[in-house]
Amino acid sequence: MRQGPLTGLKIVEFAGIGPGPFCGMLLSDLGADVVRVDRKGQGRGAPSDITSRGRRSVALDLKKPESVEACLKLMEQADAIIEGFRPGVMERLGLGPEVALKRNPRLVFGRMTGWGQTGTYAQAAGHDMNYIAISGALHAIGTKDKPIPPLNLVGDFGGGALYLAFGVLAGVIKARETGQGQVVDCAMSDGAASLMAMFYGFKAAGGWKEERRSNLLDGGAHFYDTYQCSDGKWISIGSIEPQFYALLLEKTGINDPEFQRQMDRGAWDGLREKLAHVIAQKTQAEWDEIMGGTDVCFGPVLDLDEAPKHPHNVARETFVEVGGVIQPAPAPRFSATPGKIQGPPPSIGAHDQEALSDWGFSADDIGALKAAGALA
């Protein structure tokens, strides 16, 4: 039994990589019935395929007209679809929004690409780093010497999957009000640019330098940075506000009058060296004991083995174990309609009959697809 605030929402996901599966996971975790259309073949379904959790897989050969028709029939029953092909691929398959919206006028057609459906780069291949590069985000992140990609959190997941989920749900709300669906053109380059809104504001106000590690939030400030401890582990300090900064000085035992120059950019490098020397005198655990849970704005820098074991994460059950794999629990949390992991990652075609039957296909329909070689 599915549960969560999106229970009753029906989504068709065309299998892809990166932000598409992550968006499908987010929707499924909150209760949506997500049916993933996979290409026929073997693979997937490993417990470690975390972003595939919670939906059902139907394996179809999209080169066969019977499979295309089956997809259109699924779209007729859906509130929304999500796909991550290059612009024009769905149209060439006979599954583009013009065809789909004729079959289901209230359908929300969610399209995820790196560069968007239009623009000079629209048909080019790319990855997260490339998409955030043209937004201004990548230039702002890294060392003084070079930009460094922040995993694929800013493009694929932050600027991509989250914006696609947001856009699809906004479209569904409007479609339920008006009966009219629409296309959601979600580009990771657009999403990454949107995420940079505050920093463009800083730039406009004259408060942002283009040199990395020379600004308030890019590691330039000594009070907003990471520091290595005596055991080789790291801590993060973000004591921006004056009262939090004063508490940092108190907790570290610093009484050097030079530290009163908190917002003097010219003093930051020297103060960082002094603060680093102090932090290096104790272990991460010792600093956690001193500053953890206080208004210093402190957090130990944990690796993927350590994070699930931290007392705060344990208390909130931020991580769960499914099929022997530690993984993040559904987020955000709802008081009346909590989400849950709806099931394990499906193997390709694991729910051919079950999912199609639930979505209105008769036994004869399913038999005809099998006979045509369209269904695994």
Is residue 340 situated within a structural domain?
yes
Pseudo-torsion of CA 354, 1, 104, 95, nearest 10°? -50
- Do 188 and 68 lie in one domain? The reply is yes
- Do 47 and 112 lie in one domain? The reply is yes
The span from the CA of 154 to the CA of 193, in Å, is: 10
User: 184: which residues sit within 8 A by CB, 6+ positions away?
Assistant: 108, 109, 110, 111, 164, 167, 168, 170, 171
State which residues form the domain around 248. 224-309
Helices (H) and strands (E) in the chain, counts: 15, 11
Is residue 216 situated within a structural domain?
no
One-letter amino acid identity for 325?
Answer: V
Confidence grade of residue 112 (pLDDT, cut at 50, 70, 90)? very high
Task: Reply yes or no on whether 231 is catalytic.
Answer: no
Confidence grade of residue 351 (pLDDT, cut at 50, 70, 90)? very high
The span from the CA of 57 to the CA of 38, in Å, is: 6
Confidence grade of residue 40 (pLDDT, cut at 50, 70, 90)? confident
CA angle 102, 104, 107 (to 5 degrees): 115
- Do 137 and 30 lie in one domain? The reply is yes
- Do 126 and 85 lie in one domain? The reply is yes
Is residue 205 situated within a structural domain?
no
- What is this structure's pTM? 0.95
One-letter amino acid identity for 359?
Answer: W
User: 171: which residues sit within 8 A by CB, 6+ positions away?
Assistant: 80, 108, 110, 181, 182, 184
- Do 26 and 172 lie in one domain? The reply is yes
Please check the confidence at residue 47 and state whether its pLDDT lies above 80. Answer: yes
Pseudo-torsion of CA 220, 223, 226, 228, nearest 10°? 120
Is residue 54 situated within a structural domain?
yes
pLDDT tens-digit readout, 292-350: 999 999 999 999 999 999 999 999 999 999 999 999 999 999 999 999 999 999 999 99
CATH of the domain at 68: 3.40.50.10540
Q: What's the total number of domains in the chain?
A: 2
Please check the confidence at residue 42 and state whether its pLDDT lies above 70. Answer: no
Is residue 2 situated within a structural domain?
no
- Do 144 and 72 lie in one domain? The reply is yes
Q: Count Cβ atoms within 10 A of the Cβ of residue 255 and give its class: 0-12 exposed, 13-18 middle, 19 or more buried.
A: exposed
- Do 126 and 156 lie in one domain? The reply is yes
Q: Which candidate in 127, 295, 310, 358 is catalytic? A: 127
Is residue 219 situated within a structural domain?
no
- Do 343 and 260 lie in one domain? The reply is no
Place of tokens 């019977």: 66
Is residue 3 situated within a structural domain?
no
Print the SS3 string covering 81-109: EEECCCCCHHHHCCCCHHHHHHHCCCCEE
- Do 305 and 336 lie in one domain? The reply is no
- Phi and psi (nearest 5°) for 115? -105, -10
Is residue 212 situated within a structural domain?
no
The span from the CA of 313 to the CA of 68, in Å, is: 45
Q: Which candidate in 33, 156, 185, 218 is catalytic? A: 156
- Do 84 and 158 lie in one domain? The reply is yes
Least confident of 35-49, 65-79, 136-150, 259-273: 35-49
CATH of the domain at 255: 3.30.1540.10
Q: Is the dihedral of CA 4, 48, 56, 174 positive or negative?
A: positive
- Do 69 and 167 lie in one domain? The reply is yes
Please check the confidence at residue 43 and state whether its pLDDT lies above 80. Answer: no
pLDDT tens-digit readout, 221-252: 999 999 999 999 999 999 999 999 999 999 99
Task: Reply yes or no on whether 127 is catalytic.
Answer: yes
- Do 335 and 298 lie in one domain? The reply is no
Average predicted confidence (pLDDT) for the chain? 96
Please check the confidence at residue 75 and state whether its pLDDT lies above 70. Answer: yes
Q: In what order do the strands lie in the sheet with 298-301?
A: 224-228, 234-238, 298-301
